[in-house]
Chains A and B, each alone.
Chain A
């Protein structure tokens, strides 16, 4: 399983765009990149998943360079309710997920 490295914490302000980068140098050919969000005392919530290039949904964008050794989760115009821990996971489609330390995002007024 590919190991991931993320910043431990990030601070931002309401209305700003937040980009969280994750390194996964040992990503395998069959691995997908998935991001989850977790609020205190809740289970993680799926945000977005991608394999290469760019993926966008209603809440975020995921940028993956050609070498796939890193990925960036982009949250447009964050609000206070986006304060949470964000996890980057890398794994094959039918395999278990191993969570790293995650990035604790704090959005300030």
Chain B
């Protein structure tokens, strides 16, 4: 099956620094990738939709200047958490849809990145 990787798997940083998380589709091309955030014991919350070669579409309440998304190629999307603060500590998960999309809605999820901001 299709594989999506994320790097790093976990990161600890100081408050005020920026952190970049990479999401890669390893064996398929993905025109569209999605970024989610998940707090402990809660569901996944969609943050933004990342489209290759164009600006990301952010969900309501998600600050686009805080969470910078770049989808520069068909296999790589990056999420940069700028000026991170402790409240940004969370589990960040990306997913990707094959391009061209198959007949189903299957998204392939990465393993997630645990961000801890001290």
Determine if chain A interacts with chain B: yes
**Chain A residues proximal to chain B, CB less than 8 Å:** 32, 34, 36, 38, 41-46, 49, 87, 89, 91-102
Task: Give Cα distance in the complex from A94 to B105, angstroms.
Answer: 6
Bound: A96/B47 CA distance, A: 11
In the complex the two chains form, is A98's CB within 8 Å of B46's CB?
A: yes
Contact, CB under 8 Å: A44 / B109: yes
B111 with A96: CB separation less than 8 A: no
Cα distance, A42 to B95, chains bound together (Å) = 12
State which size class the interface on B falls in: 20 to 34
* 8 A-B pairs with least C-beta separation: A43-B109, A99-B44, A99-B43, A93-B105, A44-B109, A43-B93, A32-B105, A43-B112
CB contacts (< 8 Å) of A44 on chain B: these are 44, 93, 95, 109
Which residues of chain A come closer than 8 Å to B111, judged between CB atoms? Answer: 42-43
Chain B residue nearest to A46 in the complex (CB): B106
Residues on B close to A: CB < 8 A?
Answer: 4, 6, 34, 36, 43-46, 49, 91, 93, 95, 97, 101, 103-112, 114
A-chain residues with CB within 8 Å of residue B104 when the two chains form the complex: 32, 34, 49, 93
The tally of CB-CB contacts under 8 A between chains A and B is 61
Contact call B105/A49, Cβ cutoff below 8 A: yes
- CB contact under 8 A between A94 and B101, given known A41-B114, A44-B44: yes
Q: What chain A residues lie within 8 Å of B43 (beta carbons)?
A: 87, 99-102
Task: Identify A41's interface contact among B45, B91, B95, B106, CB under 8 A.
Answer: B91
Chain B residues in 8 Å Cβ range of A93:
101, 103-105
Shortest beta-carbon distance, B49 to chain A, in Å? 6
Q: A42-B112, A43-B109, A97-B107 provided; 17 other pairs, C-beta below 8 A?
A: A32-B104, A36-B109, A42-B111, A43-B4, A43-B95, A44-B95, A46-B107, A49-B106, A91-B105, A93-B104, A96-B34, A96-B46, A96-B49, A97-B46, A99-B44, A100-B43, A102-B43
Q: List 19 A-B contacts (CB under 8 A).
A: A34-B106, A38-B44, A41-B91, A42-B111, A42-B112, A43-B4, A43-B93, A43-B110, A46-B106, A46-B107, A49-B106, A91-B105, A93-B103, A95-B105, A96-B34, A98-B46, A99-B45, A99-B46, A101-B43
